[in-house]
Amino acid sequence: TASLTMFPSSLRASVDGITWKRFRRGACFMLFGSALCIGFSIALSWLEMNVHIANQGPGYRNEFIGMYLVVGLLFGQFSCALAFPAHALIYLKAPRHRTKWYAALASLIASTCVWLFFNLAGALK
């Protein structure tokens, strides 16, 4: 029974330790990580679009070529969901001076994994 009464008190102590300033800083960090995920996903789709245009030859035109960027924006949402646990862990555990570098790396890895997953799933079809 001692462990049962200790858990709510430790939970209350951890909740009491959260201030509005720390909550705001954490929310801003998570938004920063999400923006990185979306940015990397759009960059990967932009690169894929340019490779497609280069493979088609000079003078290639298509009015739907911008859909690569729209798909990149959609992939960015999936990569945000994939990287969310990593960003939360980075915010809580990483040294303060390295959090943005770790978040950028986690965002890049998540964006690349989502892009590879959807491209390989499309290739297997």
Taking the C-alpha atoms of residue 41 and residue 88, their distance in angstroms, rounded to an integer, is 20
Question: 14-21 contacts: CB < 8 A, separation 24 or more?
Answer: none
Q: What is the pLDDT of residues 75-84, one digit of tens each?
A: 999 999 999 9
- Asked whether residue 18 carries a pLDDT value surpassing 90, the answer given is no
Whether this model's pTM surpasses 0.85: no
Assigned token pair, 122 = 């499309």
Of the candidates 99, 110, 92, the one whose C-alpha atom is nearest the C-alpha of residue 34 is 110
Q: What is the pLDDT of residues 99-111, one digit of tens each?
A: 999 999 999 999 9
Q: What is the pLDDT of residues 32-72, one digit of tens each?
A: 999 999 999 999 999 999 999 899 988 888 888 889 999 99
Using an 8 Å Cβ cutoff, are 76 and 42 in contact?
A: yes
- Asked whether residue 8 carries a pLDDT value surpassing 70, the answer given is no
| 122 φ/ψ angles, rounded to the nearest 5 degrees | -70, -30
